[in-house]
């Protein structure tokens, strides 16, 4: 599990290779990742946007940006957390992701970037 804390927001990521949905002989490797976003501060925040950088050992780096996550723009009170699962398809069995969440403090409207820690997307046997 990869974890980062920035601006009192703790982001933890647990990636997993989805062998049943992958077709390695056709260059299709599906990975899921479960992310938990925890508000460790004293102010209510809202996640507005995501910005991902995706590395694939057989493809150029790509970027993905957009509103919210999995169709939600969660509001987190102090002490609350939000967990979701999403997916990434690679052409190889080795890759990496990292990025940021663009967030806003609801009390004064100030905005900030919360760091999503780098995490590896790797089929289990490729590390041996």
Lowest mean pLDDT across 23-27, 29-33, 81-85, 102-106: 23-27
Give the global pTM: 0.91
In 10 A of CB 93, how many CB atoms?
20
In angstroms, the CA 39 to CA 80 distance is 6
Q: 127: helix, coil or strand?
A: helix
> Which pLDDT score is estimated for 72?
95
Query: Cα separations (Å) of 56 from 19, 62, 83, 115?
Result: 17, 9, 25, 20
Which domain range does residue 77 map to?
Answer: 2-127
Residue-wise pLDDT for 45-72, tens only, equals: 999 999 999 999 988 889 999 999 999 9
Question: What's 58's domain CATH number?
Answer: 2.60.40.1470
Q: 24: helix, coil or strand?
A: helix
In angstroms, the CA 3 to CA 10 distance is 7
Count of domains observed in the chain:
1
Residue-wise pLDDT for 88-100, tens only, equals: 999 999 999 999 9
Residue-wise pLDDT for 112-122, tens only, equals: 999 999 999 99
């Amino acid at each position: 599990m990869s974890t980062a804390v920035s601006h009192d927001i703790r982001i933890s990521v647990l990636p997993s290779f989805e062998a049943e949905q992958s077709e390695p002989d056709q260059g299709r490797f599906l990975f899921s990742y479960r992310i938990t976003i925890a508000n460790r501060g004293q102010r209510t925040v809202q996640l507005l946007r995501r910005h991902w950088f995706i590395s694939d050992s057989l493809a150029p780096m790509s970027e993905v940006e957009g509103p919210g996550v999995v169709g939600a723009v969660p509001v987190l009170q102090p002490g609350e957390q939000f967990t979701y699962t999403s997916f990434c398809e690679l052409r190889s069995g080795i890759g990496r992701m990292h990025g940021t969440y663009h967030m806003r403090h609801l009390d004064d409207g100030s905005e900030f970037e919360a760091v999503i820690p780098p995490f590896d997307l790797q089929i289990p046997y490729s590390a041996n």
